[in-house]
Amino acid sequence: MKETIWESPFWPEDVAHTITGYQFPLFKFLDDSARDYPDQVFTVFNGASKTFAQVKDTADRIAAFLSKKGIQKGDRVAIFLPNLPHFPEILFGILKAGAVCVNCNPVYTPPELHYQLKDSESRMVFCMDHPVFYANTVKAIAGTNIETVVVCNIKSYLPKIKAILGGLLGKIPKAGYHEPGHLMFDDMVAASSPAPPSVSINPEEDTAVMLYTGGTTGVPKGAELTHTNFTYNVMALYESGRFVQGDGKKAEKLYKGGYHTFLGVLPWYHSFGITCALLFSTMLGGRLICIPDPRSGKPPFTDVLKAVQEQKPTIMPAVPTLFVAFTNHSRLNQYDLSSLTGCFSGGAPLPPEVCRQFEEKTGSIIFEGYGLTETSPVISSNPTNRETRKIGSIGFPLPGTMVKIMDLETGTRELPRGEDGEIAAWGPQVMKGYWKRPDANKEVFVELDGDRYFLTGDIGHIDKDGYIIITDRKKDMIIVGGFNVYPRDVEDILYTHPKVELVAVVGVPDDRSGERVKAFIKLKAGETATEDEFKQFCKENMAGYKIPRHIEFRNEIPVSNVGKVLRRVLRDEAAPKSR
């Protein structure tokens, strides 16, 4: 790897500018921790736990099962699960079989899941034994290449007394029925041997995980992320972080071997959650608390506060809305959150006041980072100390990563420091490309000084001290509570409504979620409709965070001379009304 030096007087003096030794299969993180810390607890779920040795054993059995079912190197296998303890076992099992893990959002509706399964040509799917998730899976697989469905029930992952009581009281979720031929996860694991197939992995070329994203255009595409994309990102995060881990200690790299516990509150189907929680904890030999629904409890988010107090996590990757939820929780003072050593923030800009209040109430430190699905995801991060981090910036590139600011017209001319332009990134974490989309790849990659840079679609500059500042978004993406909502994705669904003639979707400011979705709809001549009618239609056809919170019917929607809807005009009109 070539040497990269980021020019800044505030680059931490003990952090290397470049790292090496990360070119290996992603499942080596699990194998190494199972070898070095076999009896150390890895996953924690509702008071029950699994050790690294146990998780590896199950992953090896899953790999053997996949091989027996004819899954070969490069085949796609989908996971349609929330943050359950099954997830790491299935993920590493898929990778050990040489296959590609296709992570699917568990709140997706059948049409949305169907699109991903069909586009990725997945041959198998793991889903939850749940009345909604399982039913959605059954509907979604119709007309796809799915040959095998494996259903995951949580009963065997609960403490024995909870499993017994939950079964007696009917509190353990289950679908209530299973289609003929669909397999139960526990039965499959028990019938398999812990003997994964021998598969040759080229970590820099072979895809490990496919994550769907709208990219810069809003059309869902599968970002192919290699083994190296992830192993580099985790190891670069490890190199760049320095934390005080105990009274009287100096700031050091995170300790390994069970010292740290990660709060798995971010979804693992998302690049932020899988890299900064699941994979990072695996590499460190740390504990991983499985949180399927962070909003659970009365009031919402109470259960996750309880988990922090009881399980004492030290590391929490989260989006700003979660920090807001913690800070504004009516019972926050009833819970001890002092175990939190450090918190990653990403997914949306972190308001300085939210940062101040959270740190004041918990004693933790939040450092903000930046990245995209296409970059596995982290590109840059603030220093992990209060002295040199710059709130409002996204810090410096990770060791071994380079960032340039390019002109907005061509994307090929580098701009001087201080000037706003499109952020372009080069590094080992940049994706292989979009699955079967050479046209889209041409739009986002540019060669600069012999290296392939990824054009992020975000606008920013590098200040005089070397900190990267994001000032705007080139694309029309809407960020709702840290989740990406692409206007075209929502518009395409709304266009399927028989009464719609023209539609435009924009994001408007929201104090709680950062932004919310607003839809402008022009009905066909002679048609009438209500806002509630369309909200129900959206509820049936798209994930909850995509649903427009406001729908405005208009006689006309502004368009350009060539007929392109002018979202910018609508966004400017809507913003003052939303406050």
Work out whether strand 148-152 and strand 124-128 pair parallel, antiparallel, or are unpaired: parallel
pLDDT of residue 381: 97
Higher-confidence residue: 432 or 491?
432
pLDDT of residue 387: 93
pLDDT for 150 beyond 60: yes
Low-confidence winner among 12-21, 32-41, 208-217, 238-247 (lowest mean pLDDT)? 208-217
Q: What superfamily in CATH does domain 401-473 come from?
A: Luciferase; Domain 3 (2.30.38.10)
Domain with CATH 3.30.300.30 in the chain: 478-578
**Strand, coil or helix: 404:** strand
pLDDT of residue 296: 94
pLDDT of residue 165: 63
pLDDT of residue 579: 45
Mean pLDDT of the chain: 92
Give me the mean pLDDT over the 495-502 stretch: 89
Domain with CATH 2.30.38.10 in the chain: 401-473
- The half-sphere exposure of 10 on its side-chain side, counting CA atoms within 13 A, is 19
pLDDT of residue 120: 98
Q: Amino acid identity of 464?
A: K
Domain 478-578: give its CATH code: 3.30.300.30
**Strand, coil or helix: 48:** strand
Work out whether strand 148-152 and strand 183-184 pair parallel, antiparallel, or are unpaired: parallel
Low-confidence winner among 56-60, 387-391, 464-468, 566-570 (lowest mean pLDDT)? 566-570
Could you tell me the pLDDT band of residue 324, with boundaries at 50, 70 and 90?
confident
Work out whether strand 433-434 and strand 445-448 pair parallel, antiparallel, or are unpaired: unpaired
pLDDT for 475 beyond 80: no
pLDDT of residue 201: 98
Domain with CATH 3.40.50.12780 in the chain: 52-200
pLDDT for 572 beyond 90: no
Cβ atoms within 10 Å of 559's Cβ, excluding its own: 13
DSSP run (H or E) holding 578: helix 567-578
Whether the link from the prior residue into 203 is cis, omega within 30° of 0, is no
Asked if residues 405 and 420 have their Cβ atoms less than 8 Å apart, the reply is yes
Q: 254's torsion region: left (phi>0), alpha (psi -120 to 50) or beta?
A: beta
For helices 28-36 and 227-240, the axis angle rounded to 10 degrees is 50
Question: Token pair for residue 173?
Answer: 């979720």
Higher-confidence residue: 320 or 435?
435
pTM greater than the 0.85 cutoff: yes
pLDDT of residue 560: 56
pLDDT for 50 beyond 90: yes
Distances, alpha carbon 77 to alpha carbons 81, 139, 229, in Å: 13, 17, 19
pLDDT tens, position by position, 343-361:
999 887 777 888 888 999 8
Give me the mean pLDDT over the 158-173 stretch: 76
pLDDT tens, position by position, 184-241:
999 999 999 999 999 999 999 999 999 998 755 567 899 999 999 999 999 999 999 9
Burial 373-406 (b: 16+ CB within 10 A, else e): bbbbbbbbbbbbbeebbbeebbbbbbbbbbbbbb
Cβ contacts of 416 within 8 Å, gap of 6 or more? none
Give me the mean pLDDT over the 33-43 stretch: 98
Residue 512 phi, psi dihedral angles, 5° rounding: -90, -50
pLDDT of residue 562: 43
Question: Token pair for residue 381?
Answer: 């991060």
Catalogue the E-assigned strands of 129-167. 148-152
pLDDT for 543 beyond 50: yes
Higher-confidence residue: 415 or 323?
415
Q: What superfamily in CATH does domain 52-200 come from?
A: ANL, N-terminal domain (3.40.50.12780)
pLDDT of residue 151: 98
Low-confidence winner among 10-24, 165-179, 180-194 (lowest mean pLDDT)? 165-179
